[in-house]
């Protein structure tokens, strides 16, 4: 496989870090973002061991950070093949009647608006390559058709909105060869997953970050126009919107 350029947000830990490792191990140029690069020990170690891995400072809701990242990518590789919008939060599981509005706003800002900011900044760079994939990490908890029992109002609604936007991106740009789809990474034993495990009656989530990343990487890497505009799971199956 020829070398590509991958841009992965939230790559300082968990699924994002494992995706960065996988993309790098497959010979790709990797732009791996972190809100605080100086504290991203494992990501910095990866970059130190592989000159194709670049640690990029990015607060996911910052248009200025996104613009600076786009400029750095353009100067380094000239374009991007794949963008994985992985950065997100899941920190509020209150029922609707007691849901903290500030928490709802934060989830929407990070999980919904953040990926749009990233897409707008990096879209011109995707047009400079032929692969052109934009894949936000979503969740089955954002599926209105599935509607899990735990109260996921803040998290689920922010991801449902992200799903709609991602399908819109695919619809608007599929004629340019751009493939966009949200993907559910599974129930993963990350810092975020640990916080939600008790809601599902589990001590830990069943998948490791590496297992999830390997599955997600395979779906993203092999995705064709046929997968564009669909809501996919880590195993490649479709999830109801």
Task: List the chain domain ranges.
Answer: 5-233
Closest to 114 measured CA to CA, from 143, 90, 89:
89
Cβ count within 10 A of residue 236: 14
Place of tokens 């749009």: 116
Question: Do the Cβ atoms of 240 and 182 come closer than 8 Å?
Answer: no
Closest to 60 measured CA to CA, from 101, 12, 18:
12
Residue by residue, pLDDT tens for the chain (241 residues) are 578 999 999 999 999 999 999 999 999 999 999 999 999 999 999 999 999 999 999 999 999 999 999 999 999 999 999 999 999 999 888 999 999 999 999 999 999 999 999 999 999 999 999 999 999 999 999 999 988 877 789 999 999 999 999 999 999 999 999 999 999 998 876 666 566 656 656 566 667 889 999 999 999 999 999 999 999 999 999 999 9
Question: Do the Cβ atoms of 4 and 82 come closer than 8 Å?
Answer: yes
DSSP, res 19: H
Closest to 21 measured CA to CA, from 218, 223, 210:
210
Which CATH number is associated with domain 5-233?
A: 3.40.50.720
Question: Do the Cβ atoms of 180 and 173 come closer than 8 Å?
Answer: yes
Catalytic residues: 155, 159
For the record, the structure tokens of 128 come out as: 């400079």
């Amino acid at each position: 496989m020829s070398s590509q350029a991958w841009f992965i947000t939230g790559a300082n830990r968990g699924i994002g870090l494992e995706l960065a490792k996988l993309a790098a191990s497959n010979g790709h140029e990797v732009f791996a973002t972190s809100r605080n690069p100086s504290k991203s020990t494992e990501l910095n170690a990866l970059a130190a061991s592989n000159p194709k891995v670049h640690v990029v400072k990015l607060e996911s809701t910052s248009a200025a950070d996104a613009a600076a990242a786009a400029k750095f990518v353009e100067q380094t590789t000239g374009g991007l093949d794949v963008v994985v919008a992985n950065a997100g939060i899941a920190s509020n599981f209150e029922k609707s009647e007691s849901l903290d509005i500030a928490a709802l706003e934060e989830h929407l800002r990070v999980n919904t608006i953040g990926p749009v900011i990233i897409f707008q900044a990096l879209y011109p760079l995707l047009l400079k390559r032929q692969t052109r994939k934009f894949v936000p990490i979503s969740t089955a908890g954002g599926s209105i058709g599935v509607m899990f029992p735990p109260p996921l109002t803040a998290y689920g609604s922010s991801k449902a909105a992200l799903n709609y936007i991602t399908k819109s991106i695919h619809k608007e740009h599929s004629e340019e060869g751009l493939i966009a789809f949200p993907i559910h990474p599974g129930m993963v034993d990350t810092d975020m997953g640990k916080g939600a495990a008790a809601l599902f009656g589990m001590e830990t989530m069943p998948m490791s970050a590496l297992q999830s990343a390997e599955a997600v990487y395979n779906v993203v890497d092999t995705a064709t126009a046929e997968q564009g505009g669909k809501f996919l799971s880590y195993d490649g199956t479709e999830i109801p919107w």
